[in-house]
Chains A and B, each alone.
Chain A
């Protein structure tokens, strides 16, 4: 079974802090994604990556950056956390070069981030 592991289930950070959310997958997937989930809005794509050291902006990249130094690890960085970034963050991965559009996503269990 594919396993996508997010390093923390719950995080509480203060406004202005730099926050790192880590995600690791164990199935050698090429593609990795970061979404945020908010009630009534579904999932919105923040950033994604099709290969090591490669990144693409999603629909809501403002206030975030990412890092993919190794194929299995995809980090989401909040450069200066703000209260409107309080949310559930979901990491996902999928196989297929260039983001095969028939390939399902495998999700981690999420990190619930609260910024106070």
Chain B
């Protein structure tokens, strides 16, 4: 079945460092891909999405490009801030899932001043 694999965490960075969180997927057909973020004590909220190959999603300085050839959707940010500390989830949704999201296990990011 469809699945999402994220890099193991936690990831600890200093403020202004470059961030990459790896995400790869297995899916039939052409899924939509998402990154969600969960700040402490809150539910998940959509960070960005891409719906077809080579699309780039972006929001709040974060970017991710839908790479069909490598089945990847890695999250990047050029300069992280302490306020970016959160848990990040990669997810996919496709026609075979009819609207259900399949999530990766989540990656905790801690940014130190």
Q: Do A and B come together as binding partners?
A: yes
A interface, CB within 8 angstroms of B: 4, 31, 33, 35, 40-45, 48, 50, 58, 90, 92, 94, 96, 98-110
Chain A contacts for B99, CB-based, 8 A: 31, 48, 50, 94, 96, 98-101, 103
The CA of A33 and the CA of B42, in the complex, are separated in Å by 17
A33, A50, A94, A105: most-surrounded residue (chain B CB, <10 A): A105
Interface presence of B46 (CB below 8 A): yes
Chain B residue with the shortest CB-CB distance to A9? B41
Chain A residue with the shortest CB-CB distance to B48? A104
CB-contacts of B27-58 with A (<8 A):
31-32, 34, 36, 41-46, 49, 51
The CA of A100 and the CA of B98, in the complex, are separated in Å by 7
B interface, CB within 8 angstroms of A: 4, 31-32, 34, 36, 41-46, 49, 51, 89, 93-95, 97-106
Chain B residue with the shortest CB-CB distance to A97? B99
Chain A contacts for B42, CB-based, 8 A: 109-110
